[in-house]
Chain A
Amino acid sequence: MRTFFLLAVLLLARAAHADPTVLAVKGDDVFVDLGAADGATAGAQLRLLHVVIAKDPTSGQTLRDRFEVGTLTVARAGDHVLLAHPEDALRGKVVVGDEIALASAPVAYVDPWQQRVAAAAGTPAPATDDDAARTVDEADAARAVWQQTLGLAPAERIAKWEAYLSERPQSPYAAAVKAELVSLRAQAQQLDRAATARAAAASGSLDDDRTHQLALALADLIPSAARTGPLVDAAPTTALPGRPITLAFAIVSPARVARAWLYVRPRGKAGFEKLELAHDGDAYLRATIPASLVVAGGLEWFVEAASAKGEPEAVIGDQRSPRVIDTLEDISEAPIASGRSRVAARLEYVDFDGKLGGGHDQYYQAEFDFTYRFLQPVHAIRLGFGTLSGQGGPKDIIDADPTGQCLDASGTYSCRRVDFSYVYTEFELRPSKWVGLMLRPQAGLLTTDTRPMSSGRCRGGADTSDCDFGKGLGLRARVRFGEEDSTNLVLGVGFTSGVGTLIEALYQWAPRPVVPVTLAVQVTDQPVPEDFGVRIIGDVGWRGMSWVYPSVRVSYQARDIDHAGISGGLGLNFDW
C-alpha cells in the first residue's frame, strides 16, 4: 500500500510540474517531489512552507501566500523524490500538500551510471531528447493506469496493474508496481475473508446466499443452469455397460440440500437402489453408480434432497419420471458357449407292408443337419440335407394283388418309386422358455419312376423313360412345449409336394441323464400321397460322452391292420 501511494504521488508530481510539495508523510518520513536532479542531495536543507489561501470579501478574489514554518533535512534523495526528516518543532505538523523550497545551494548531480557509460564510450553521455521523451512516456503510461484504478475494487486494480506490467515489463516503475500488487492482493484476500465470514454468519450454515449469487451468475453464462431446483447437473446420457458412473451435482441452493440421495435402477426393473450423495468441495454432491447397475438396456435415476429440517423431495427427476442413462450397445463378444451346436445324422427304414424288399410300401429316409443356437434374435437355425427314397401306392391294390406286383384288376402297375433329395433350413423361435416354434421350408429334386420293378433307375441311370423329374417343395411347422434338453412335447405337421404329408407328436425325455428317449406317433402318407398310415416310434440314445451320442430307433407302422410292418433306424448326434 505504501509503495502504491508513493507511486501515485510521484506520478501526480511529475504530471503537475508545479512547485515541490510534500507528497506523503509517514511518521518522521516526509516525501517530497524534489530529487537529486533538482540539486537536492542527502544533507541538504529544505524549507517547509505553509500555504494560505483566502478569499477577499471585498473584491471576491482568491488570495494565496506561503509562510516558512521550519526546515527539514534530506535523508535520502532519488532522482526526483527525496526523503526528509523534519526538525523537532515540525514533528506532527507536516501535511501532504505543503510546499517545499530548497534552502541549501543546489548541488550538481552526476548520474554515476551514465558517467560510467560515457567513460566506456570515451565521450560524455549527455541526456538526449529521446531519453527525456521515454521517461515522460513511461510516467504518462503509469499515470494513466493509476487513474483507471481509482475507485475500483482491489481485484480489478490488480488486473489493470498486471496488464500494465505485462505490456511494459521494462518500465522504470515495474518494481514499484510489483510491490503494489503484493499489497493489493493482501487487501483483496482480507476483503474476501471478511465477505465470506459475513455471508457465513448471515446464513448460519453453508453460505447459501453466496452460492445463490454464483448460481445466478452461472445461469447467465449457461442457460441450462437456470433451474428452479437446488441442484444442477450435466449427467451423462449414455454409458458403457459394466462400467461405474460418477455423477456430480452443483448445489445452487445449499439451504435446501442438507442431505440428498440418488435412486437408481436398471431400466425396467422394479425398485430403486438408494445411494446417499456426498457433499464435496465448495458446493457439490457426488456419488458413483456401481457397475452392477450399469447394464444393457440402460438405467433410470432420480435425486431427492432434504433441508436440515425438511422432508425429502425429488429435485431431479422423480420415481414416476426418472432420468435415463442409455447404455451403449454392448459389442463385447460373448465367450464361446458349449452346447450351442449339434450335428445330427439319421437313417431310417420304414416298412409299411411288412414285406421289406419284396413289398411295395417302403422307404428309407436319411437326414444330415447342422444346428446352431444363436438364442437371439432367432433361437436356432438348422441347415440340412436329406434324401427320401422308396415306393408306395394304394394299399388296397398292393394288398389285393396276389402276384405281389402292385397290379390292379386291369393289370396296370399302380405303384410309384420316388427319390427325393432335398435341402432345408429350419428356424426356431423361442417366444418363451417353455415354447419353441420351428418352421422348416425345404426344396429338392423329386424323381418319380412309374415303371415296375425298377430300383434307382431314374435317380442315376441313363434310362430315363417313364421317369418324371421335378421339384419337390415343402414346409414343416412344429411347436415344442418344454425345454429342448429336458422333457418336452413336440407337435408338428409337414407337407412336401409329390412326397406326402406328415403329422407327428413326439414326447422326449431322459429317464436317466445318459439315456435320452423319444416316443413318437406319426400320421403320414409318405412316400407317395396315397393312403394315410400311423407310425409308432421308439428312439433310445446313449449319451456315454457329453459330445456324442448314438441312438437306435424301432418303429411299427400300418395303413390298416393287415398292412403293417416293423422297422428301425440309427442316429448319431454330435453336440458341441
Chain B
Amino acid sequence: MNTLVVLAHLLHIPPGSARPGEPIELVAVIDAPAAEPALVVHWRAIGGAIWRDAPFERSSAGGWYATIPAASPPGVEYYIGEPDHAHFASAASPQQITVEPELIDRLEDQERARTRDLPDQVALDLEGHDFGNRYGHSDYYARAELSWTHRFLRTLDAASFGAGGITGRTPSMDGADATIDPRDARYGFAAARLRLAPAIFVDARATVGVSQEGFMKGFGGSITLGRPWRSNLSFGGEALDALGGSAFVRLQWDTAPPLLMGASIVRTDLPGALVSADGLLLRYDVSYTVAARFTIRGALSYGARDGSAHFGGGLGTAIAF
C-alpha cells in the first residue's frame, strides 16, 4: 500500500470572485480533522509578498469556516495546507479570488491617475464677440469668469463655484436711429457635473446676480458625449434673465496632442440682443497643457447677428492643485 500523504480531507467550493469591502468566507467540510490540528488558509493580496493565515474553525452548525478579511481589487489569492501537505492550491500556484471594483471606483482610480491626484482647479476665462451691425452700431459682449472646481470623481464628478461678469452693448432697436444699450451683469454661480456613464457627462449650473434690470437669475446645462478631456461631442445652453439665452453644439478632438481642439456652433442672444435673435457664430478653440498643472486656452470666433460677420475670441488659463 502506498503511503498516504493527505490525512485530513478538505472539500470546499473555491469562490471565483468576491465583492469589494466584504469578508470572504470559506466554508469547508473536513474529515479526519484531528489529523491536522491547525488547518489554515494562507492568503495574500494578488501579487502581494506577505502571506497571512486564517484558521479554519469548527462551527456548531457542522462545517468549518475560515474568513479572509475584506479585500480590495484586484483581489486575493490563497491556498490551503502546507507546502508538503496541500489540500488546495499552493504557495507557488495559489487560487485567485478576484474582487472586481464597482464601475465608479474603477473610473475614479483611472481619473485620479490621469489627473495626478490633483482634484482642484482654479480657472480664469475671458471671451467675447463683436457681432457688428449693419448700421454701424455696437453689438458685442465680453465675459469673464473665475471659477474653482473640485473633482469628486464619483457620479458627482465635480462641483464648481465662481463669479463672473458680462459687459456688452447692443442696439435698442432695428434701424439707424437705434440707441446703444449697455448690458452688464455681475454674478456668482454654482455648477455640478455628473458622470452618468464612463463617457456621458451632464453639467448643470445655476447663476444669480444682478444686471442693468436688477436681480438676475440663470440656468444652464450641457451634455457631453465622450470624455471632456478627450474627443467628444457636447451640446447645451444657458439662459440669463436679462441677457438672453445661448445654445451650442461643440465638437472636440484630441488628435493633435498636446493640443486639444474644439469647434462650436453657438447661437446666442448675448448680451441681451433686441434687434435680432439670430446671433450665430462658429468658434474654434484650442487648449494646451503647458505643464502638469497649468493649462492655457485660446479661441477664435466668427459670426454675425445683423449684418456682416465679425470676429471674436477668448483666452483662458487653469491651474490644478
Contacts and interface: CB of A to CB of B under 8 A. Distances in A.
B41 to A, nearest CB: 12
A220 interface: yes
A211 B62 CA distance: 16
A329 B134 contact: no
Contacts, number: 218
A30 to B, nearest CB: 33
Given A232-B13, A331-B198, A246 B307 contact: no
Contacts of B103: 328-329, 331
Interface of A: 154-155, 158-159, 185, 188-189, 191-193, 195-197, 200-201, 207, 210-211, 213-215, 217-218, 220-222, 224-225, 232-240, 243, 245-250, 252, 280-284, 286, 328-329, 331-333, 336-341, 368, 370, 372, 374, 381-383, 385, 421, 423, 425, 444-445, 456, 459-462, 464, 471, 576
B134 A333 contact: no
Interface of B: 1, 4, 6-17, 27-35, 37, 58, 61-63, 74, 80-81, 86-89, 93, 95-96, 98, 100, 103, 106-107, 110, 132, 134-136, 176, 198, 226-227, 230-231, 233, 249-257, 261, 263-265, 278, 280, 282, 284, 302, 304, 307-309
Contact of B309 (A196, A246, A331, A421): A421
A338 B257 CA distance: 10
A212 to B, nearest CB: 10
A383 B7 contact: no
Given A462-B134, A576-B256, A185 B309 contact: no
Contact of A238 (B32, B35, B100, B252): B100
Contacts of A471: 278
B9 A214 contact: yes
A248 B95 contact: yes
Contact of B1 (A158, A159, A201, A286): A201
Nearest to B307: A460
23 contacts: A188-B35, A189-B35, A211-B11, A217-B63, A222-B13, A222-B27, A233-B16, A236-B100, A238-B17, A240-B98, A240-B100, A247-B16, A250-B13, A281-B80, A281-B87, A329-B198, A331-B110, A333-B227, A341-B231, A383-B250, A444-B280, A460-B308, A462-B176
A281 B81 contact: yes
B265 A425 contact: yes
Contacts of B74: 240, 243
Contacts of B135: 462
Question: Which 9 residue pairs spanning A and B have beta carbons closest together?
Answer: A460-B308, A188-B34, A192-B32, A236-B16, A248-B14, A236-B17, A385-B282, A281-B88, A576-B255
Given A372-B253, A459-B308, A385 B265 contact: yes
A192 B11 contact: no
Contact of B265 (A214, A248, A423): A423
Contacts of B302: 385
Contacts of B58: 159
